Amino acid sequence: MTPYGRVQMTDVQARQWAMFAHLSALLAGFVGGLTFLGPLIIWLIKKDENAFVAEHAKEALNFNITVTIAFLVSYVLMFVIIGFLTIAVVGIAWLILTIMAAIAANNGQVYRYPLTLRLVT
């Protein structure tokens, strides 16, 4: 029990929540929403319960904020044609890297997304 009467999170639960932090961005992305909302909610709710979950949720949040910025820049660049290419590259990279991070979280490994702005510390 924690000082607040909560039961400690098991290792398996921590790995699942860390994985959910990454996969929640995929769910929001495919539904057409804001990809950073899922990781933000998980980070806000679970950051004080488990350091592993907090680290993964924060990493997923930072990555999805970076991807949102990259999508907006690509959208603007569509007016000069290059944006069609950049939006495809960003989308494919987002999908692959998010799946890799979710697998790493489920395996209990720390994962750092490449080329990510670390805005949330």
DSSP 16-58: HHHHHHHHHHHHHHHHTS-TTHHHHHHHHHHTTT-HHHHHHHH
Q: Is residue 68 part of a domain?
A: yes
CA–CA distance, 98 with 19 (Å, rounded to integer): 10
Is 120 among the domain residues?
no
Query: Tens digit of pLDDT for each residue in 41-96?
Result: 999 999 999 999 999 999 999 999 999 999 999 999 999 999 999 999 999 999 99
Across the chain, what does the average pLDDT equal? 91
114 occurs within a structural domain: no
Domain of residue 46, residue span: 11-106
Residue 32 — very low, low, confident or very high, per pLDDT cuts 50/70/90?
Answer: confident
- Indicate whether 56 belongs to any domain: yes
Whether 113 is in a domain gets the answer no
Rg (CA), the chain: 16
Whole-Å CA distances, 3 to 6, 7, 13, 55, 57: 7, 10, 19, 22, 23
- Please check whether residue 1 lies inside any domain of the structure: no
What pLDDT is recorded for position 2? 53
| pLDDT > 80? residue 21 | yes
* 27 in any annotated domain: yes
Q: Tally the C-alpha atoms within 13 A of residue 112's C-alpha that lie toward its C-beta.
A: 5
2 within a domain of the structure (yes/no)? no
Percent of the chain with pLDDT over 90: 80
- Structural domain total, the chain: 1
Tokens standing for residue 88: 């495809």
| 77 in Cβ contact with 62 (< 8 Å) | no
